[in-house]
Amino acid sequence: MAWCLSFQACLSTSQIRCHLTLHQSRGNGRAVQFESASTDTVEASKAFNAAFDELDQVPISSEERQDLLSYYEDVFLPELQTRTGGTYDAKSLMPNSAAGQRLQTLYSTQGTPEKSGQIADPGDGSDWSALNARYQPHYQAMMEKMGYDDIFLVNMDGQVVYTANKGIDLGLNLYDAPTDQTELSMAVREALATNSVDAMVATSVEAWIPSLNEPAGWLVSPVGRAGDLSGVLVAHASIQATSDTMTGDENWVEQGLGETGEVYLSQGGLMISNSRTLIENPEDYAKKAAANGTPQSVVDQAVQAGSSVLLQPVEGEAIDLAERGETGITTGRNYLGEDVLIAYGPMDIEGSQIGVIATMEESEAFAPVNAFARAVLISTALMILFFAIFSIALARVFTRPIDRLLDAVRRTGAGERDVKVDTGSKDEFAELGVAFNDMSNSMQAKADLLEAERAESERVLLSLMPATVADRYRQGDETIASDHGDVTVIYADLVGFDDYADGMQSEEALAQLNEILAGLDEIASRLGVDRVRTTKRGYLASCGLNVPRVDSARRVVEFAIEADSFVRRLARQYETSLSLRAGIDSGSVTSGIVGRKSVVYDMWGDAVDLAYRLQGADSSPGMFISDRVLDRIGEMFEVEEAEPGNALPGDRKVWRLVTESQDD
């Protein structure tokens, strides 16, 4: 494609920046893991825990508390409210502990909100200050070397007992409001729950109020020895460093992105790296973003901060697909309402799924195509002129009727259908033209009939078997069977349809059944589940049969839940008691064509048999899964143990999916 000359450079640049970002993230993660296991950090964690507890035993005076409150109200909150436009309560942001309030009074209030006091020892004579004087150079050096914005030590109770920057997060308890539901708080809980010094938890980007609501990403690793943790080490990863990598230090043209190309990251429908237009032309960004529907307050905040991170909404199919882990190229509109060519894909940073979006305005991306089209148009015009003059010269040699007849013969020979010859006069040439037209009409009718029969045969064949099996069958292969090692099978029974259809005309009952089956087919197609066969009451489908999928169990369970919801909606619409009872199992199956004259594509095996037995284990509606399916889906769906009856051999268990139908 001609657009590759410009847009391929954009794609290559985006791939390079993704690799750089991944390398940077993984290096940061390894550094945090290594440091959390070091002897210095293990000793520092225990020592700061003890020193913090010692400070907490001494109540803070009313004067000290008032000084701290004044700092929040007169210095910190005005700056925070200017940046966010929100309103905050100083007391709700202050630490609850005496130790936290004292440390903020001694350290945090000695600087500005942008750069807190980093004095080594305020001279209060406490063990905490002595420890700070000892360890501050070490963590300050690590922070500068790795490009972190801050480093925390947090004890087992979620108490921040040390920070390198001495901001107002020093002394906070992450398990208390307003930080109890933050990404950092949840990451600390997750890391401690592993009880492993080798664990490392990375978070999504979030706005961190103690850093004036600036974007923050966290790397958390437990501190201690095996079986004896004392807390976690937290690195405040620099979002600016990631943004600089994605913008290429603002060298877009030099790095192949042209005049309009950019690469950015998205997560949760928001940009988590900076906008090129905002950097290059803030006024243009503000005008276009607001015109495209971005709230004016968000636009003003982004322009004031000089950053679109966690502010600028980004939406569209390409964004959704990238954040779901899919890759592709499409066209659409960007967050400024411009028509762009879009390449999208995922990037997994320490378990956090992020979308990578590369865009270029269509006018620039397709410029080579337009130039080529103009050249072809000019060349075609010159060729037409040449052949027109040449044809006029030859026209004196041949008669017009013969020319018309020869042209019609050539067009018919080239495959063109329904070619007609203008008979014109009443002479012998006209009779020849009439004969040709009759022949052309006959050929057209036969070709149309053959095409209709071929299309109908193809439709019927594809309704009986998958396309890959149909290809083999068309090539003459009559013994078609395949073994599949990891397939998830669902057998669903439509409960209550016989009672509902009782009294209906046959055509009406069949139409209602086809509507239900068509709805199930649509849900299955959307979720990557393949229908195998259907009967009046039974619906057999699978995932992982034609296309191997590592998440086949999850897809089939989601299909079962959506199918159950769909049937219940129809039941309410028809005012009847239609419901779905289904069995789901994972395992090995065999698929193939059964029969010779009347062929049927079918699937059989242990998983098919068990799925059928599961749906018959209980006469009541419900979605029943085997323990093999439960092992694959983990805790993604709510389940409850069901009575197996005679459905399973031995001591194997049956589980019922908890769905809306049970709540009803």
183-228 pLDDT per residue, tens: 999 999 999 999 988 898 888 888 898 988 888 889 999 999 877 8
* Confidence tier at 22 by pLDDT (50, 70, 90): very low
Cα–Cα distance for residue pair 346/355, rounded to 1 Å: 5
Q: Please determine, for residue 298, whether its predicted confidence score (pLDDT) is greater than 80.
A: yes
Query: For 42-57, what is the mean pLDDT?
Result: 95
**Nearest-angstrom CA–CA distance, 237 and 411:** 69
Q: Indicate whether 318 and 200 sit together in one domain.
A: no
Is pLDDT of 2 > 50? no
The CATH number of whichever domain residue 486 belongs to comes to 3.30.70.1230
Q: Is residue 162 part of a domain?
A: yes
Q: Largest Cα–Cα distance in the chain? A: 123
Distance CA 151, CA 166 (A): 10
pLDDT in tens, 144-160: 888 888 999 999 999 99
Instruction: Report the pLDDT value the prediction gives residue 24, as an integer from 0 to 100.
Output: 53
Picking from 128-132, 278-282, 465-469, 640-644, which range would have the lowest pLDDT averaged per residue? 465-469
pLDDT level of residue 648 (50, 70, 90 thresholds)? low
Last residue of a domain, one of 346, 365, 384: 365
Residues 230 and 253 in one domain: no
Domain identity same for 95 and 177: yes
Residue 20's pLDDT is what? 45
Q: Note whether residue 5 is domain-resident.
A: no
Residues 230 and 263 occupy one common structural domain: no
In this structure, the answer to whether residues 517 and 605 fall within a common structural domain is: yes
Residue 441 shares a structural domain with residue 541: no
**Residue 165 is assigned to a structural domain of this protein:** yes
Structure tokens, 645: 């009856």
Phi-psi map region of 588: left, alpha, beta (phi>0 left; psi -120 to 50 alpha): beta
Span 476-487, pLDDT tens digits:
666 677 888 889
How many domains does the chain fold into? 4
Give the tens place of pLDDT for each residue, 232-264: 999 998 776 666 666 666 676 766 677 788 888
Tokens 């299955």 correspond to what residue? Answer: 524
Top pLDDT among 20 and 628 is at 628
Over residues 300-328, the pLDDT tens digits come to 888 887 888 878 898 888 888 888 888 88
- Structural domain range at position 141: 15-205+219-235
Looking at every residue in the chain, the average pLDDT score rounds to: 80
392 within some domain: no
Report residue 601 as tokens.
């594509």
The whole-number pLDDT of residue 5 equals 44
Domain end position, chosen among 460, 484, 511? 460
The verdict on residue 153 lying in a domain is: yes
Q: Please say if the pLDDT value at position 34 is more than 60.
A: yes
What per-residue string of b and e applies to 566-603 under the rule 16 or more CB within 10 Å gives b? bbbebbeeeeeebbbbbbbbbbebebbbeeeeeeebbb
Q: Is residue 143 part of a domain?
A: yes
Q: What are phi and psi of 327, to 5 degrees?
A: -130, 145
pLDDT of residue 535: 76
Supply the pLDDT for residue 255.
64
Query: What's the rounded mean pLDDT across residues 414-442?
Result: 63
> Helix (H, G, I), strand (E, B), or coil: what is residue 150?
strand
200 and 342 fall within a common domain: no
In a domain, 30, yes or no: yes
CA 216 vs CA 26, 154, 207: distances in Å? 17, 17, 6
Spatial separation of the C-alpha atoms in residues 182 and 191, rounded to whole Å = 14
Query: What is the percentage of the chain residues whose pLDDT exceeds 90?
Result: 23
Q: Is residue 566 part of a domain?
A: yes
Residues 439 and 300 both lie in one domain: no
Do 441 and 414 share a domain, yes or no? Answer: yes
Q: Mark whether 513 and 647 lie in a shared domain.
A: yes
Query: 592 - beta bridge partners?
Result: 481, 602
* pLDDT of the residue at 546: 84
Instruction: Looking at the structure, tell me whether residues 489 and 444 fall in a common domain.
Output: no
Identity at 236, one-letter amino acid code:
H
pLDDT of residue 463: 53
Q: Are residues 521 and 443 in the same domain?
A: no
**Vertex 463, ends 460 and 469: CA angle to 5°?**
100
Q: What is the pLDDT of residue 436?
A: 59
- Verify cis geometry, omega within 30 degrees of 0, for the bond prior to 178: yes
Of all helices (H) and strands (E), which one includes residue 347? strand 339-349
What pTM, to 2 d.p., does this model score?
Answer: 0.48
Question: Does the structure show a pLDDT above 90 at 231?
Answer: yes
Is the pLDDT score of 78 beyond 70? yes
The pair of three-digit structure tokens given for residue 633, joined into one six-digit string: 């889906």
Token pair 């009347």: residue: 598
Residue type, 523: I
pLDDT at 591: 83
Write down which residue in 345, 365, 385 finishes a domain. Answer: 365
For residue 295, the domain's CATH number is 3.30.450
